A and B are shown apart, each in its own frame.
Chain A
């Protein structure tokens, strides 16, 4: 698990750097990665070309750089409307056309950026080798596409083709040459003019499309081309098979579209609230058990050896704002203090007649942790509990009110809510179908010292059931909104998407996902409460615009604290 967490951390770091480079190269402000795809604001950008999507497990950092540079050039140098006007419908032709347009922009690197040229070449070579080594070039279709890609790129950019496969392509290249010759020359000549380039690219795309059809006929495999119709990814499936397989194992939260949720006009339904409860954590277990857990938690905190005082100082630096707080008297400069004028008469040499405003740092702020207590979190709860305990104490020292909240369900598989539903004859689309359980481990008015026992309840293993995130976020936000502090922060700690077996069965797989997304979008727009998320070994960017993947391992290290502090300071990218 720790390896997966490291991978998620690494992925996030690489994406941050790449997105930064893309922003600098293109000059666009709101570009960022969410769930491994480049987004402009909330809008997802097209895939553009197959070689622009390296995978963290198999590709090197140079490949990511190359892909980022390719994306940046595509965004700056290619006219979207012009491109869309020419783009063919047929998936294979479209793939070739996209690829050729990408090669065009990659040949137009602005002067002075030698590294970009190198990165682009490196990425294309890596992609080509991966394509070749996965034996995709063994089929007639594969070698044809591969040769077209290699030859076209060599011509457009004026760089030589890959040595390793030059011999392999020889026959196909010779067969292609007479048909492509004039258009290839046209590509090179017109690469500065997108409109004049497009007809040549289209001609090549059409030709390749026809050749592929005949190649299919020869191989007798016609099914493959026809099923590539609905999603845009399908257009690339031919070349992106490699990546599609890897994508299963990634540590990004997977989400999809819920038809049920959309059909109900995004009105979230709850079958019954009769069994929902909100409990104080101290009521969850007997006091003796809590004392035992508290001892264990104290041992863990001590073993982690994290510097709480330093954390408190840093939190204060981040969250506190200077406020006017009375006056400093007897100063050598500042405003004249009327009460001291008599002293000037009495002793004319006395200079300390002034007073100045005293400024103090004060945090008018409340921060709440909302901890996902779903079944899978059980294995991470020790480091999470250590972190939360440490933060609660440090926040208190920094003068920031803090809450520790949790959410789970009252039962597995729907519990009494599902039984009621079954008794009522299973009406269709019941909405959420479980007993929601919201837990308060520490509320903002309780000092850490008095909440010690409550926090220990985090270690109680039988709390962890299923997770209904959307409602929990709404509950936590509502609690924060009722607080008098000016700045309100909510930090969600989770290791997965919303999960509830009964609800998913009775509705559809992404019902709760879509609700969470709706809730987050609404609150991000309102911006009364700043919501960020800590993904335990998981990239939560498909849901949250401010999130950080954590590598907790068995005990949190100082680097984790730094990550969290950075998350709190980082502005939201929309």
Chain B
């Protein structure tokens, strides 16, 4: 245990140099990479506000929740920040079936010296609590609200954790950090996109110190991300193509916001589309395979209109007057 306690960040990193963000902040970082430190993605692009919020979580021990529509890279964002700080990071995907026992720990039968013994096995929460680990609850709003009360006390900065089964009280490691990502802000599935999202208890939402919103990025940012992900489209010659792709994605997002479409193109869809263009060599074919076929049949003619606006080409689904 003392060994764990001695494990702490030893150096300070310059935010401007590491994350490419205009800020004079210095963040603590570990020197050595542990097995739980995520791989660094060299081309990852950091959104300024979200990065600062996550960094505040690491520096000042704040509880940070990142909220945003799907495919905007919320979880990856936390992970990539941790990767650059050499901070061990563990992601847990919550779902409706995760119970208190999974999180806290349970009695299990183990073999010891040939004998069957009942022994308490720690869950993920007590394990992480005693280590300098960033614990990320993915899809926080998919967890059952009654179960999520397990972490209620942890959300306070010096909140200790009582293991009722063992009559033990755990004090968190000084460099334990807690993050969460969610599609909704705990008000349930309002727009019909996120089936399975729960309504969360607002006494708990209130305990999160920082709620960062990561929605869709400015067009130039998004183009840069796609270009970084798909090197084949990174050249100056593909700029016009990328611009049109992002413009089309924006039209679908507007269409979703106005209620015309029931689905939208996330940055992840745009990246998939770009990758599919590499395979199929034709933006229209790749578009059909990456997005159009996910749309409701009644909406396809409208999506074809959007496509025509961006690419000045009609796809098969487009309406024709002679019909």
Q: Do residues A14 and B321 form an inter-chain contact, with CB atoms below 8 A? A: yes
Q: Do residues B257 and A115 form an inter-chain contact, with CB atoms below 8 A? A: no
Q: Do residues B246 and A29 form an inter-chain contact, with CB atoms below 8 A? A: no
Given known A24-B254, A28-B258, contact A112–B246 (CB-CB < 8 A): yes
In the complex, how many angstroms separate the beta carbon of B219 from the nearest chain A beta carbon?
A: 7
Within 8 A of A (CB), among B116-167: none
Given known A20-B260, A23-B254, A27-B257, contact A112–B321 (CB-CB < 8 A): no
Q: Do residues A24 and B308 form an inter-chain contact, with CB atoms below 8 A? A: no
Q: Is A98 an interface residue (CB 8 A)?
A: no
Q: Is B320 an interface residue (CB 8 A)?
A: yes
Cα(A119)–Cα(B245), bound, Å: 18
Q: Do residues A61 and B246 form an inter-chain contact, with CB atoms below 8 A? A: no
Cα(A571)–Cα(B258), bound, Å: 12
Q: Do residues A60 and B321 form an inter-chain contact, with CB atoms below 8 A? A: yes
The interface residues of chain A, by DSSP majority, are classed as helix
Within 8 A of A (CB), among B282-312: 298, 301-302, 305-312
Smallest CB-CB separation from A31: which chain B residue? B258
Q: Is A10 an interface residue (CB 8 A)?
A: yes
Smallest CB-CB separation from B243: which chain A residue? A112
Given known A17-B301, A61-B319, A112-B246, contact A29–B257 (CB-CB < 8 A): yes
Smallest CB-CB separation from B298: which chain A residue? A566
Q: Do residues B302 and A20 form an inter-chain contact, with CB atoms below 8 A? A: yes
Q: Which residues of chain A are near B245, meaning CB under 8 Å?
A: 112
Cα(A10)–Cα(B320), bound, Å: 10
A26, A60, A113 — most chain B CB neighbours (10 Å) = A113
Q: Do residues A23 and B311 form an inter-chain contact, with CB atoms below 8 A? A: no
Q: Do residues A114 and B312 form an inter-chain contact, with CB atoms below 8 A? A: yes
Q: Which residues of chain A are near B69, meaning CB under 8 Å?
A: none
Q: Do residues B257 and A21 form an inter-chain contact, with CB atoms below 8 A? A: no
Smallest CB-CB separation from A9: which chain B residue? B323
Within 8 A of B (CB), among A1-33: 10, 13-14, 17, 20-21, 23-29
Q: Is B251 an interface residue (CB 8 A)?
A: yes
In the complex, how many angstroms separate the beta carbon of A111 from the nearest chain B beta carbon?
A: 6
Q: Do residues A115 and B308 form an inter-chain contact, with CB atoms below 8 A? A: yes
Q: Which residues of chain B are near A61, meaning CB under 8 Å?
A: 319-321
Q: Which residues of chain A are near B235, meaning CB under 8 Å?
A: none
Q: Do residues A21 and B258 form an inter-chain contact, with CB atoms below 8 A? A: no
Taken residue by residue from 29 to 70, chain B's Cβ proximity to chain A (1 for < 8 Å, 0 otherwise) reads as 000000000000000000000000000000000000000000
In the complex, how many angstroms separate the beta carbon of B160 from the nearest chain A beta carbon?
A: 35
Q: Which residues of chain A are near B312, meaning CB under 8 Å?
A: 114-115, 117-118
Q: Do residues B319 and A14 form an inter-chain contact, with CB atoms below 8 A? A: yes
Given known A118-B312, A571-B259, contact A113–B247 (CB-CB < 8 A): yes
Q: Is A110 an interface residue (CB 8 A)?
A: yes
Q: Is B269 an interface residue (CB 8 A)?
A: no
Q: Do residues B313 and A24 form an inter-chain contact, with CB atoms below 8 A? A: no
In the complex, how many angstroms separate the beta carbon of B253 from the nearest chain A beta carbon?
A: 9
Taken residue by residue from 18 to 58, chain A's Cβ proximity to chain B (1 for < 8 Å, 0 otherwise) reads as 00110111111100000000000000000000000000000
Give the A-B pair count, Cβ closer than 8 A: 83
Q: Do residues A25 and B308 form an inter-chain contact, with CB atoms below 8 A? A: no
Within 8 A of B (CB), among A72-121: 110-119
Q: Do residues A21 and B321 form an inter-chain contact, with CB atoms below 8 A? A: no
Given known A13-B319, A111-B247, A114-B244, contact A20–B310 (CB-CB < 8 A): no
Q: Which residues of chain B are near A118, meaning CB under 8 Å?
A: 312
Q: Do residues B260 and A24 form an inter-chain contact, with CB atoms below 8 A? A: yes
Contact of B252 (CB < 8 Å), options: A10, A24, A112, A117: A24
Smallest CB-CB separation from A6: which chain B residue? B323
Q: Do residues A65 and B305 form an inter-chain contact, with CB atoms below 8 A? A: yes
Q: Is A500 an interface residue (CB 8 A)?
A: no
Q: Is A389 an interface residue (CB 8 A)?
A: no
Q: Do residues A114 and B298 form an inter-chain contact, with CB atoms below 8 A? A: no
Q: Which residues of chain A are near B307, meaning CB under 8 Å?
A: 115
In the complex, how many angstroms separate the beta carbon of B295 from the nearest chain A beta carbon?
A: 13
In the complex, how many angstroms separate the beta carbon of A126 from the nearest chain B beta carbon?
A: 13
In the complex, how many angstroms separate the beta carbon of B300 from the nearest chain A beta carbon?
A: 11
Q: Is B105 an interface residue (CB 8 A)?
A: no
Q: Do residues A27 and B254 form an inter-chain contact, with CB atoms below 8 A? A: yes
Q: Do residues B255 and A113 form an inter-chain contact, with CB atoms below 8 A? A: no
Q: Do residues B309 and A69 form an inter-chain contact, with CB atoms below 8 A? A: yes
Smallest CB-CB separation from B313: which chain A residue? A115
Cα(A119)–Cα(B243), bound, Å: 18
B residues neighboring A (CB under 8 Å): 219, 240, 243-248, 251-252, 254-255, 257-260, 298, 301-302, 305-313, 319-321, 323
What are 28 A-B contacts with C-beta separation under 8 Å? A10-B323, A17-B305, A20-B255, A21-B305, A21-B306, A21-B309, A23-B254, A23-B260, A24-B258, A24-B260, A27-B254, A27-B257, A29-B258, A61-B319, A65-B309, A111-B219, A112-B243, A112-B244, A112-B247, A112-B248, A112-B310, A113-B309, A114-B310, A115-B309, A115-B312, A117-B312, A118-B312, A119-B308
A residues neighboring B (CB under 8 Å): 10, 13-14, 17, 20-21, 23-29, 60-61, 65, 69, 110-119, 566, 571
With A112-B219, A118-B312 given, can you name 15 additional A-B contacts, CB distance below 8 Å? A14-B321, A17-B301, A20-B255, A20-B302, A20-B305, A25-B309, A26-B254, A61-B319, A61-B320, A65-B308, A65-B309, A111-B243, A112-B240, A112-B248, A566-B298
Q: List the 6 closest pairs (A to B, CB-CB), nearest first.
A: A112-B247, A112-B243, A115-B312, A23-B258, A115-B309, A24-B255
